[in-house]
Every structure is written in C-alpha cells, then in structure tokens.
Structure 1
Amino acid sequence: GMVFGKLRSQNASFQPGGLRAAPAPGQPGALPTANPLEDTVPFFPGLHDPLKIVAGRDADFQPLRAQSSIGASPSLRVPAVGICRLEVAFPAHSLELATHVSENAASRLMQKSVSVWDVDEDAVSLALTALARLLNKLPPEVRNRIGRLEVGTESNVDFAKSIKSYLTDLLPGQPELLGVDNVNACYGGAAALMNTCDWLRATAALDQEEGVEDCEAMEARRFGVVVSTDTAIMDEAEIGFMGAGAVAVLVGYNPAIEILPSPVAEMKSTLDFLKPKVHDHNVLTPRMRSRESMDHYLAALDAVTHKTAERFPGWSLPEVQGCVLHGGLCKSVVVKAMNHWYKNSGATAQMGRAALLAKYEPGTKHGELLGGLYTASLFFGIHSAVEHGKIETGDRLLLFAYGSGSTATLLRALVHRQLDDFEPIAPRLAARVPVDMAATTAALQRHRAEGLFEGLGKTVQDARENGLPQGQTKEEPGRYRLVERTPQGERKYEVDS
C-alpha cells in the first residue's frame, strides 16, 4: 500500500488493528529484506491511535505538512487541487411540464421542463459527448498528461463493461489511465471527484521527493478527469422526475475551484431506492419510496452540516457564500432541504431568507430545466451557480453530495478564479427541440422495447428514422449516438459530424 506515495516498509504487515512487526528474517513467513527502507520510521507515527480531524485550508491557511519517512527529506506540502474546467452534455429535446403534464405537477416539483431522449442516446453516448467537448478544448500538452479517468454513474448499460472503458477510445495513446466506474445511486460522481483529488495530492508527494516544489511544475506533470453521466428514465406517471445529462471535469493543481481535504461523510444502509437486476423491463421507474428517501436525505444533511460546522470554524451556513446541493429528481428537493437546513441550524437569527436564496438558488437553474440528473446533479449545480450566481474569488462554497442507499458527503470548496474557458449553457438549453407528451410516450415505448431481447437493435434504427423530431439538432456536430446494438450486447457509438 502507499501513503502519499511512500511504500509501506517490508518490515511490517497489515492487520485489521494496524501495523505489526513481521517475522524476523529466517523465520516462517518472513519477507526478504532487500532495500534500505525496511527499518525506517512509519510515515505517520501513532498509526494505532484514533485519527484526529485536521481542519482543511481556508483563505488564510498555510499548506498542510506531513513528516517525510526519509530522514533528511524536506517536509511534504499538500497542494491545492480541484476543478479547473467543466463541460456538460444533455439531450436535445425537452418536455415542458406546465403545458404537457399539468400546472400542478410543475408547481409541486418546481420543474419547468425535463429532458427527453430516444434509444440512440444513453449514459455512454452522453459521457462520450461531454468528454469530447472537454478534450477538444484542451491543448495537447494537457491531454497527454491526463493520468486518471474516473466515472460516476448509476445508468450503465452493462453489468461488466464499465463506461470508463468506452471513454478510453477518446484517449487512445494513454493506456495507463487509472480509474473505473463508481456506483451507488447518485453518489458516484462525488466519489470519483474525491478519488481523483486524493490521487493528485498523493502523487504530489512523489514530485516533491523528486525535487519538484513548484505548483506550476506539478500542474505540467499530470491531470485527472471525472465524468458523471446518467439517464433518469421514468414511466409516464413519474415523468416529472425524468432527466439526463453528463459532465466532464478537468481536475488538477492550481484549480479554479479548490476542493479542500477532509470531507465529512454520513453512511448507512437504507432500502428506499432500488434498481433490481431482475425486474420487469416494462417498468422504467426505479423502486422508489419518495417520502422515506427525503427523510434519509435530510438526516444525512443534518449530520454532515453539523459535523462540518463543529470541525471547521468559518464553514457554517451563514458564513459561506454559496451552497450547491444534490438535486434529487426535481428542484423541490433542494428547496425543501435548504429550508430545513436554515431552520435546524440556528441560521435564522443570523441571516434572512433573501440571503438564503442568494446562497443556493443560482445552483438550481440548470436542474429545473433538465430534470433528474442523478450523479451529474451536483456538477450541473456547480456550473449553474457559476453561470447564474455572483461567485467571486475567495468565496467559500459547501457542496452536498448524496446517493440513496445511503451515502452522503459535505465537501468544502474555495473559489480562486473563474472556471477556465467557461461557457454558459443557457443558449443551448433554449435551443432544445420541444416535444409533446405523445412524442415522449412513443420514445418511452421504444425504451421499453429496447430493454427486451426482442427489441435489441431494431429500436435503435427506428429511432434514427422515425424517432423524436430532430429540428435544428439533426445536424448538430459533436453529439455521440448509439448506432448499433448486437444480440450479444455489443454497442457501437459514432459522433455526428
């Protein structure tokens, strides 16, 4: 194993209780002693002791330092890592709820519209589209230094082949890309982001052991990419929860939005949201207990916000400049959660409702037009907050990631600058092709047929020829589509040129 890139001594072996001395040379089970590290002091002394919570960086915080395991080596500094760029992809069609479902549904869910897509788009095609948009904007020297590509999803089309494996086609010259898919309801994208940030922090220690101290020099060495992609397919009765989208995030040193160390988590086992492997393919909606899910969501939010405020002074709701919460399947989830947080944290005495709205409302603008986004929800929220909010250098943000089952984490973030090459998506959202309920129902029928063996690739071809009206998006370049699906489950994707 490795801690900040340092190999564990061969003179110790791992036990559930920590490190213990290995058998002496010559005794049964002894390891060969072949390098000078075998008698070094453990990298972190007191490993048997309970871990202490160490506050991360704030605006005035000096970089954390960890004692090197090699006597004369300089101390290791934890560099700033986080989000540098963020690109998004979403279906080209939308259903307006107030017009085609009911005004009551639109009002209750606080949703203006949801995304609609046909069977020639899925979580893989959306991921390919988002990643291609990101890579096309990167200079070769950055693309060639991507060392990790990690995915968050709950909408994979295969139980064995990862979505990450499809994405490697876009980086054919880099076979050593680390990372695979992260799966737990809506939480996988946040897990991928934290994994990638930790990878960058750990490999920075190796740079420093090699004498690289400058963050700009580190930045030139490696980057990571996180892709979150999902399709929240629903039956007609739950159409207000439907949605789809993907994000591709460039993660690196010297970030625009720094993700601080020591996220606060709350994990437990719940049964409120399930997608059984064996199920009726005529039913598209997951097995949901909506009220129970909301209760678990709020309980997790209470836990992580309380612990964060205790552990990290300056990071309570009234003290931060912005909040982005996982959006669930509709905007009303975020509104209810923020009102709950506001009332139960004692913030009512320190800030008014106008200040509360200013903290979270900008992050909901994309979601209220796109619908349920699952793992991509938090990232679309970040993009929305940047596009519609007044985020400035030095602002502190709280990011709440959640997945039913249940997994929750509160991340702390610092804004250093605008996201690189940031592109507002309001014009793209406005250019989507509107469809009515009849066209949406026809698309859902094709999704049901595609889930059955008799459907297979036939519905893909049908969608290309007789599917949703294409409008101006018919010749939209850069959008990946599923063009073939074989009886063996093989899928082929091509990009619209």
Structure 2
Amino acid sequence: MTVAVGIDKIGFYTPELYVDMVDLAHARGEDPNKYVIGIGQSKQAVIPPTQDVVTMAANAAAQILTPESKADIKMVLFGTESGIDNSKAAAVYLAHLLELPSDTRAVELKQACYGATAGLQLAADFVRARPNAKVLVIGADIARYGLRTAGEVTQGGGAVAMLVTADPQILALDDVSSYHTADVMDFWRPTYRTEALVDGKYSTNVYLDFFNRVWTDYQAQTNRTIADFSGFVFHLPFTKMGRKGLRQILPSATPEQQASLTAAFEASQADNREVGNLYTGSLYLSLLSLLRHGNLRGGERLGLFSYGSGAEGEFFSGVVQPGFDRGFDDAFLTQQLAGRHAVSVTDYEQIYQEQLPNDGRDAHLETGNVTAPYYLAGRQHEQRQYRQH
C-alpha cells in the first residue's frame, strides 16, 4: 500500500515592520491605484538588518517544531536566492540554530523563486523511501530591486517553513508533476550585485507561457481537467500575476466553477497582499493563505504553479486532508500580521540601506528592541553572529 506523503505543518514569519503602498505611491508621485489595484499589493514587508534568511527561517520553523519532531528530521532543504554565503549552506546555520540532530543532511537550493519547490519534491521522494523520516523545507528570501526602481513595488520578504512527512495533516502530494526549463534572461542577479535585474513585462509573459505549458502537460499525463480542482495556487511575486495566470484557464470551466475558483484565488492572495514578494516562499504563503481564508474541505484537490525566473516552472497537485487546520497556528499567524507596525517612507528607505557592509569589517547591530526569537546581532571576524532570545 502506498503511503501518502506531503505537507504536515506550515509556519510563516515576516518581520514586524511594513510600508503602506498608498504612502509609497504618494512618495513616488504615482496614483495609489497603480500599486493597490494594478499590482495588487496593500503592504510591503520591511526587513530590518537584524533579520536575514537564516533568522527568518528559524523564526518560521520554530512555530512548527517540537523536541519529538526535531529528533525525526533527517534533512533540511533550504530554498533561497538571498543566500548569505557563496559556499556554506544557509541550511547548516539553520540546523545549528534549531539544534537539529547532527545526522541531519542540510543543503541550500537555488533557482530563483523555484528553490523551495525543488526542496519540496526532493523531500517528498525522500520520505516515500523512508516513511519514518521527516524533512524540513524552507522558502526564505528578501526581495530587493532598489529604491525608486520599477521593481520597488514588488519587494518584500519573509520565510515559510514546511514539515514534510508520511500521512501529512495538511496536503498529500500527488505523484505526478509537470516541469519546464529554458535559459531565459527575464530576471537575474550577478554575484557583484545586491539588487536583482529584471525585465518585468517579459518576465510576466514567460511566467504565463510556462504556466500554459506545464498545465497542458499535466492534463495530458493525468487526464484531469479544471473541473477536478477546488483551487489553484500560484507563485505570487505580486498578486496580479497569479490572477493573470488563472484567467488563462477559467474559460474552460463552467460559470459556477469559475466563481468558485475565483473565490479560492481571492483567499489565496490575501496574506501575500499584506507582505509582498517572498521569492521562494511566495507560492507557499499563498497556499497557507488559501488554507486560512478559503472554504476548503478534506478530499479536495488543489493545483500549484511554481515559477522561478531564468527560468523553471512546475505544476503539481495535492489533496487537502481532513483536519488540515491543525497543521498551522491560525491565531498566531493572524496576530503576527495584525501586530506589525507601519513605517514612514523615509524610515523604510533608511532601513533598506542598513545592511551589513560588504567589505567584511566587524559590525554591531542595534538589537535592544528586537522581539523575534532568532535574530542577527552583527558580524565579527567575518562571521555572522546569530542570537536567540
């Protein structure tokens, strides 16, 4: 008998600061509707220098791990394009912070926004072969395009942590997926840059083309149609992107199905709209948002589209499990988002510039007001100094 494998628990972390998109639009001399409606964002997470992808991942993972589950973790797969070291994996730092067993395999994965999906699929295959094992999969990033750039409105940051197990509480992954890869220069960040380079309109067109390709191939492999799905979840660098993707396939559904799928999409973008772009974590924050705000029932099938510029796309699916809401702390997540503080555009710009210097010199960060369980205190002797409350 085949054992179901998939996502057992999900945690999410984003820092306590945000900038309101209406305020940013006014500061940039733009109509707020261009950001709020045209792009589809209300708030954008602001990442203080005391948080990086490692600390955000630790803060997300701490929500879902217990001493018992830590003991069963055999692998950490960390998807990010905001790595802190060109050699040492962020997963190794994370495993140490979380005090995971020393026989844990820890690897960092990079392919733009696709890295966490690669981690999820590798984790699922690992657990299918070892049903007693658990795998921690991370999608954590800080989206940076630069101040006063065309991409500024699609910045943000945070981390999603997923525990992949047999007999999962949240989503049992189907065995079949479809993927497509092509060498495309729609978005990239050379090693000498701290901000990404992007051709926004071209990237949107590639995203939509890849979605059509993998969706068509998935249907050919499975003989499933749009009628077999209760919702579609998209990688959301900004929420309007997923809406465009869904609109490409809605005409094949009945009017009743169109209304239901549209409502599911609205639920799936609610939290992303409040945070902004998470790169590797965006698809999985969207999944969490649908689980939190949608009207799902056990046994319903969801479709997920993952896209990483450069470019790689994958469409896969999973079945919602009964009692899926036990796999995340809804009250905590609601309070985390509601309890954040707005900063002025001037403060946002200052925080954006407050990175650790790139020349390797020692640095001490102001940590007196830090409330997150895990944080970055600075750098000494070219080594990052991580701390825990």
TM-score using structure 2 length = 0.92
Does residue 452 (structure 1) correspond to residue 382 (structure 2)? The answer is no
**2:133 matched to which residue of 1?**
222
1:323 maps to amino acid? F
Cα 1:173–1:378 shift into 2, 3 Å: closer
Deviations 1:293-313 (A, max 9, x none): 111111110011111122213
- 2:4 — aligned with what? 80
Q: How far, CA to CA, are the matches of 1:445 and 1:141 in structure 2?
A: 41
Query: Which residue of structure 2 lines up, in the alignment, with residue 113 of structure 1?
Result: 43
Count of matched residue positions in the alignment of Structure 1 and Structure 2: 377
Check the 8 A contact 1:305/1:316 in 2, yes or no: no
Q: In structure 2, how many angstroms separate the alpha carbons of the residues matched to 1:335 and 1:427?
A: 27
Is the alpha carbon distance of 1:477 and 1:446 closer, same or farther for their aligned partners in structure 2, counting shifts above 3 Å? Answer: closer
State the match for 1:291 in structure 2: 201
How far the C-alpha of 1:355 sits from its partner, in A, is 2.5
Which whole-Å CA distance do the structure 2 matches of 1:311 and 1:161 have between them? 39
Cα distance in 2, alignment partners of residues 198 and 410 from structure 1: 16
Deviation per CA, 1:463-496, whole angstroms, max 9, x where unpaired?
A: 547xxxxxxxx36352x111121353x101112x
Deviation at 1:431, TM superposition (A): 0.7
Residue 420 of structure 1: aligned partner: 326
Change (3 A) 1:169 1:481: same
CA distance in 1: counterparts of 2:314 and 2:22, whole angstroms: 34
Name the SS for the 1:197 alignment partner. Answer: helix
CA distance 1:477–1:277, shift in 2 (3 Å) = closer
- The structural deviation recorded for 1:113 is 0.4
Within-5 A mapping of 1:7-26: none
| Distance change in 2, residues 1:492/1:297 (3 Å) | same
Q: 2:246 aligned to 338, 348, 371, which one?
A: 338
- Which residue of 287, 308, 326 corresponds with 1:403? 308
Q: Which residue among 188, 202, 209 is the counterpart of 2:115?
A: 188
Q: Which runs of 5+ in 1 are unaligned?
A: 1-76, 205-220, 466-473
Q: Distance in 2 between matches of 1:86 and 1:352?
A: 28
2:234 to 315, 320, 325: 325
Tell me if the contact between 1:101 and 1:437 (Cα under 8 Å) persists in the aligned partners. Answer: no
Q: Which residue of 2 aligns with 1:154?
A: 81
Aligned equivalents of 1:245, 1:171: Cα separation in 2: 18
Partner of 2:130, secondary structure, is helix
CA distance in 2, matches of 1:132, 1:108: 36
Query: Deviations for 1:249-302, whole angstroms, at most 9, x for unmatched residues?
Result: 1111111210111211111111111110123xxxx5311011111111111100
In the TM superposition, what is the alpha-carbon distance from 1:225 to its structure 2 partner? Answer: 1.2
- Whether the 8 Å contact between 1:113 and 1:369 is mirrored in structure 2 is yes
Stretches of structure 2 lacking an aligned partner (at least 5 in a row): 27-31
- The match for 1:235 among 146, 150, 154 is 146
Aligned Cα root-mean-square deviation (Å): 1.9
CA distance in 2 between counterparts of 1:372 and 1:356 reads 23
Q: Which amino acid aligns with 1:269?
A: D
For 1:49, the equivalent position in structure 2 comes to none
TM-score, normalised on structure 1?
Answer: 0.72
Return closer, same or farther for 1:141/1:128 CA change in 2, 3 Å cut-off.
closer
Alignment partners' CA distance in 1, 2:121 and 2:285: 17
Amino acid at match of 2:281: A
Superposition deviation, residue 403 in structure 1:
0.3
Which SS does the other structure have where 1:453 is aligned?
coil
2:105 to 178, 200, 203: 178
- Please state how far the C-alpha of 1:198 moved relative to its aligned partner: 0.1
Matches within 5 A, 1:98-497: 98-102=22-26, 103=32, 104-135=34-65, 138=66, 140-172=67-99, 174-204=101-131, 221-237=132-148, 238-256=151-169, 257-279=171-193, 284-313=194-223, 315-328=224-237, 330-343=238-251, 346-347=252-253, 349=254, 351=256, 353-417=258-322, 418-424=324-330, 425-447=333-355, 450-453=356-359, 456-458=361-363, 460-461=364-365, 463-464=366-367, 474=369, 476=371, 478=373, 480-486=374-380, 488=382, 490-495=383-388, 497=389
1:123 Cα deviation (Å)?
0.8
Contact 1:84/1:419 (<8 A) preserved: no
Q: Which has the higher contact order (CA 8 A, sep 6+)?
A: 2
SS of 1:134's partner is coil
Task: Give 1:352 deviation, angstroms.
Answer: 5.8
Computing the radius of gyration over CA atoms, which structure comes out larger, 1 or 2? 1
Tell me how far 1:428 sits from its aligned partner.
1.5
Relative to structure 1, is the Cα distance of residues 351 and 307 closer, same or farther in structure 2, using a 3 angstrom cutoff? farther
Aligned partner of residue 481 in structure 1, secondary structure: strand
Instruction: State the SS of the aligned residue for 2:116.
Output: helix
Give 1:91's aligned amino acid: P
Residue 188 of structure 2 contacts residue 196 of structure 2 at CA under 8 Å; is this kept in 1? yes
Q: Distance in 1 between matches of 2:376 and 2:295?
A: 39
Flag the structure with higher strand content.
Answer: 2
